[in-house]
Amino acid sequence: MLLMAATVQAQEKKPDWMRWHYLSEEEMYDTSRGLNFVETDPPAGEPRFVAEFEPMQGVMIRYPLGIPTSLVAQLSNNCMVYCIVSSGYQNQAQSSFQGAGVNMDNVTFVNAPTDSYWVRDYGPWYIFEDRNPAIVDNIYNRPRPNDDNISGVFANYWNIPMYGMNLQHTGGNMMEDGRGHGVSDDLVFQENNYNEENVRNKMRDYLGIDPYHVTIDPQGDYIAHVDCWGKYLAPDKILIAQLPQSNPRYQYYEQVAEYFETTNCCWGYPYHVYRVQEPGGYTLAPYTNSLILNKTVYVPMGTNNTYNQDAIAVYQEAMPGYEIVGVNGGSAGWENTDALHCRTRGVMDFDMLFVDHRDVLHGEQEWQESIPVVSKFIAYSGANLKQDSLLVYYSIDGGAYQTAHMTATGNPDEYVGYITGYQGGSEIDYYVFGADESGHRYTQPVFADLDPHHFTMEAHQPAGELVITPDTLWFEQMGQQRQFNIINETNEAVTIIDVVPEVPSFNLWENTFPYTLQAGETLTVTIDYQTAPGKDTYIPYEILIRTTLGDRIVMGMVLNTSLDSGFVIVGAPVVEFNDLGSSPQQVNMQNRFFGSQIPVTVLSVTENETDYLSFEPQGTLPYTVEPADYFYLDVYVNAMVKGYVVTSFTVHTDQNDCIYGVNINENLLSINELSAEAKLYPNPTTSQFTVEGANVAKVEVYNLVGQKIHEADGKTISIDAAEWHKGIYLVNIIEQSGAVVTKKLVVR
């Protein structure tokens, strides 16, 4: 009786031989594997196992089909369909496809004998070896020699290298993220003599898979394939089936889900785990056995419409921007252990553009004034990258997306762009975009602004305040000095980047910027006014104080000219030249000795310190100006200048002098109206800084003694200032129109 019971128990545990995806009865006793397999050395270059969700040029199927011809028609409108078919079946296949409305322009027949339609399991594993496509072959874990030869068939078809990895494996038990992470269940150890070290080493050497996540098989069915219960949807997203708590396998599915919820993805944070509900038992629900093909996901449908709709909703939530298509099994039918994914296999785009931003910003970031985003761009087509299309798109606190151009770092294929303009505590979304000259484009994440990378900038609000007192300076006469104090009442050091008066008549004494003001320290700034004021009415001018806590303003109040105030300037005391080839600028002065009726004699006109100007007075000097009369003077620029020059000239008389400030080329394109895309960042800098803008043509950098120390052309220019002396530099941004705008750069 004991013997009979043991025999019955053994029969109950035998697999269902009718499940051909596993083994036929004949194959049960066939122990041959890999009869034609040839082991090779691993790739000499760096291997990258491409993920299913990356760009695909086509999809492989086998005829006679395991999928509905209606699905073949859908696939043919997505990409090329590579149909493996023996020569004797090709006409039949072609007739069947044409009758189903398949786009025959997108069908390629590859003649080869096969044993089954499970091309996912025996089809080639496509990799890039450095920049070149290749195939990795393994020993197919079924005694089906024709199927096992298909990798070699396609290596010959594509004329690309094939590497023999001496492991028993199967495509249904392998998923990868395209960035070195892979997942299988422990069938891979079982089928390779439980030599875990050997398995991991080969997966690393031939496919670049490290880490290799090998889990239990939660399904506990005959097939033991990962695609029957899980699926990579993105490098940081995994879909895992979920059973009712009453199901005896429930705990095993939860164990696997918990593993990934507490395991970091390739971008440094735990996987986002999405769950798709399955009723369990024999009810058909093969939802993880789907096919991702470019921007479409083909999901096999089960027999319960409620579960079907819920499964589609999960895919839509996890993969925004993708088209989610439910597919019925047709006459071939689906099984929970064998559906759409098992019977298809994507063919990677050999010419894809790969955006590889590994150091993803996530969580809370330490405060800094600008934050770099570093990414590699690899154009497998060999085409040049579009340098003006390598971009970081970013949104601050839910605002509109801005762009930062990325520039080469000097490391192979590596570029950097800077996110700027945020505040402490800001929530920042971003993604990286690239394009090449072959027309390939790609983003990371692939969902772009629909599901971008996200991080938070740490709170940055120092305790206390930066106090400036007094906030107004009063000037009643030429050369008069006034002072204000900058008091650091915060709990940290603050850098005073610069003090910039609105008009050149203000002159700073003794202070040198940038200046680091320690907590509790006071800095006194001294300013005088170099133009003779008048009487009665004051004109307000701004003195801009730039600091690392933001800009501050001190007002300079200058006494204006009025009646009976001598020989005075009429109009603005600053002459601006916006175009070196323009007409001369005329300045006017008036004799306002109305009460005393004193005539004024203009003696001479001299330029102060520089030699850029020439003058044409209204008459021969000396020239007498009677009370209430005017004196006119034409001013010319007679020398080329770099960037913008601030100078001055003096009209000397026998009563008093009139001093004019001159700005040459300063406002050819107003500093306040500089193209919105023209940026200089980070500023201050300790090493590299970038100038970028759609209209930028050239950049010149000068030190404060007027020596040019750097020059470069381009719309986006990255300059290394690491070896420069600390201090202030003038950066001339020259746009395509010829406009020149000078910005101060602080190098720390």
pLDDT of residue 3: 41
- Chain-centroid distance of CA 531 in Å reads 51
pLDDT of residue 8: 34
Q: How far apart, in whole angstroms, are the C-alpha atoms of residue 342 and residue 567?
A: 95
CB 627 within 8 A of CB 597: yes
Please choose, from the candidates 423, 489, 496, the residue with its C-alpha nearest in 3D space to the C-alpha of residue 461: 423
Residues 6 or more apart whose Cβ sits within 8 Å of residue 147: 114, 115, 116, 118, 121, 122, 140
pLDDT of residue 177: 97
More confident site: 45 or 143: 45
pLDDT of residue 230: 97
More confident site: 100 or 704: 100
Alpha helices by DSSP H, 191-304:
196-207, 250-261
Summarised one tens digit per residue, pLDDT across range 425-460 is 999 999 999 999 999 999 999 999 999 999 999 987
CB 66 within 8 A of CB 114: no
**Cβ atoms within 10 Å of 437's Cβ, excluding its own:** 13
| pLDDT of 93 strictly over 80 | yes
CB 362 within 8 A of CB 455: yes
- Per-residue tokens: 513: 């910027």
Angle between helices 90-99 and 69-76 (to 10 degrees): 80
Q: Is the sign of the CA dihedral 263, 264, 270, 276 positive or negative? A: negative
Please choose, from the candidates 409, 412, 405, 411, the residue with its C-alpha nearest in 3D space to the C-alpha of residue 435: 405
pLDDT of residue 235: 98
Residues 6 or more apart whose Cβ sits within 8 Å of residue 210: 180, 200, 203, 204
Cα angle vertex 698, ends 353, 643, to 5°? 155
More confident site: 380 or 680: 380
pLDDT of residue 429: 97
| pLDDT of 569 strictly over 80 | yes
DSSP strand pairing (688-692 vs 441-444): unpaired
Q: How far apart, in whole angstroms, are the C-alpha atoms of residue 51 and residue 445?
A: 14
> What DSSP line would sit under 613-634, residue for residue?
EEEEESSSSSEEE-TT-EEEEE
HSE of 50, CA atoms in CB hemisphere, 13 A = 34
Q: How far apart, in whole angstroms, are the C-alpha atoms of residue 52 and residue 171?
A: 12
Please provide the average confidence, as pLDDT, over all residues in the chain: 86
Tell me which H or E stretch contains 90. helix 90-99
SS3 483: strand
CB 731 within 8 A of CB 691: yes
Average pLDDT over residues 364-382: 92
Band of the pLDDT at 343, cuts 50, 70, 90? very high
| pLDDT of 140 strictly over 80 | yes
Summarised one tens digit per residue, pLDDT across range 490-523 is 878 888 888 888 877 787 777 788 888 888 899 9
| pLDDT of 331 strictly over 90 | no
Please choose, from the candidates 666, 667, 659, the residue with its C-alpha nearest in 3D space to the C-alpha of residue 607: 659
Cα angle vertex 450, ends 449, 451, to 5°? 90
Q: How far apart, in whole angstroms, are the C-alpha atoms of residue 140 and residue 142?
A: 6
Question: Which residue pairs, CB below 8 angstroms and at least 24 apart, start in 441-448?
Answer: 441/353, 441/389, 442/55, 442/352, 442/353, 442/354, 442/355, 443/355, 444/355, 444/356, 444/357, 444/375, 445/234, 445/235, 445/236, 446/53, 446/234, 447/234, 447/319, 447/320, 447/321, 448/321, 448/393
User: How close are the terminal C-alpha atoms of the chain, in Å?
Assistant: 90
Decide if 83 is catalytic.
Answer: no
Average pLDDT over residues 464-491: 82
Band of the pLDDT at 100, cuts 50, 70, 90? very high
pLDDT of residue 670: 35
DSSP 338: B
CB 658 within 8 A of CB 574: no
Summarised one tens digit per residue, pLDDT across range 675-721 is 445 788 887 787 888 888 878 889 888 765 456 789 998 888 899 88
| Top-tier CATH class for 566-664 | mainly beta
pLDDT of residue 104: 97
pLDDT of residue 641: 52
Q: How far apart, in whole angstroms, are the C-alpha atoms of residue 278 and residue 47?
A: 36
Average pLDDT over residues 465-491: 82
Q: Which residue ranges does the chain devote to CATH 2.60.40.3080?
A: 671-747
**Among 22-31, 155-164, 277-286, the range of highest mean pLDDT:** 155-164
| pLDDT of 209 strictly over 90 | yes
Pick the catalytic residue: 79, 83, 342, 658? 342
Average pLDDT over residues 59-85: 97
| pLDDT of 461 strictly over 80 | no
- CATH number, span 466-559: 2.60.40.10
- What percent of the chain clears pLDDT 70, i.e. is strictly above it? 87
HSE of 68, CA atoms in CB hemisphere, 13 A = 17
pLDDT of residue 16: 43
SS3 256: helix
Average pLDDT over residues 246-251: 95
- Per-residue tokens: 474: 């009063």
- What percent of the chain clears pLDDT 90, i.e. is strictly above it? 57
| pLDDT of 10 strictly over 60 | no
321: left (phi over 0), alpha (psi -120 to 50) or beta: left
- Per-residue tokens: 461: 């609000």
According to DSSP, the residues that pair with 659 across neighbouring strands are 650
| pLDDT of 537 strictly over 60 | no
- Chain-centroid distance of CA 284 in Å reads 42
Cα angle vertex 82, ends 351, 381, to 5°? 5
Q: Tokens 């990677």 — which residue?
A: 348
| pLDDT of 120 strictly over 60 | yes
CATH of 20-243+272-279+286-295+306-348, picked from 3.75.10.10, 3.90.180.10, 3.30.1330.40, 2.40.30.10, is 3.75.10.10
Band of the pLDDT at 294, cuts 50, 70, 90? very high
CB 560 within 8 A of CB 538: yes
- Per-residue tokens: 658: 């009139």
Summarised one tens digit per residue, pLDDT across range 610-663 is 777 888 898 899 999 998 888 999 988 775 555 556 778 899 999 888 888 877
Q: What is the 3-state secondary structure (H, E, C) of 220-232?
A: CCCCCCHHHCEEE
Band of the pLDDT at 555, cuts 50, 70, 90? confident
Residues 6 or more apart whose Cβ sits within 8 Å of residue 190: none
Q: Which residue ranges does the chain devote to CATH 2.60.40.10?
A: 353-457, 466-559, 566-664
Per-residue burial over 92-112, b = 16 or more CB atoms within 10 Å of its CB, e = otherwise: ebbebbeeeebbeeebebbeb
pLDDT of residue 19: 43
Range from 62-71, 259-268, 400-409, 577-586 carrying the lowest mean pLDDT = 577-586
CB 90 within 8 A of CB 110: no
DSSP strand pairing (472-475 vs 550-559): parallel
Residues 6 or more apart whose Cβ sits within 8 Å of residue 388: 405, 715, 716
CATH architecture of 671-747: Sandwich (2.60)
- Per-residue tokens: 484: 């204000």
- Per-residue tokens: 148: 């096992």
CATH topology for 353-457? Immunoglobulin-like (2.60.40)
HSE of 573, CA atoms in CB hemisphere, 13 A = 27
CB 390 within 8 A of CB 373: no
